[in-house]
Amino acid sequence: MADFCQQCSIMIFGEDHRDLAGLITEEDTKNGFVSRVVLCESCGPIQVDHDGRSVSDGEEQTGHA
């Protein structure tokens, strides 16, 4: 099954399917942590927060302005 980050899910499907959400806790995000590298089928290897939102450097390359 293909997984998409929050931004790509909204861009492609018009809603967030939360494919990559919940990989870390909201508390971890608040403490500055992000997931290990995960694969978004649209933008490639990235890191995400607790909501599955891509927080990787180089957002301009993936179109997540």
User: What is the Rg, in whole angstroms, of the alpha carbon atoms belonging to the chain?
Assistant: 11
Q: Return the number of other C-beta atoms located less than 10 Å from residue 57's C-beta.
A: 8
Question: pLDDT tens digit string along 6-46?
Answer: 999 999 999 999 999 999 999 999 999 999 899 999 999 99
Tell me the whole-structure pTM to 2 decimals.
Answer: 0.85
DSSP secondary structure string, 1-65? -----HHHHHHHHSS---TTTTSS-HHHHHTT---S-EEETTTEEE-B-TT--B--S-HHHHT--
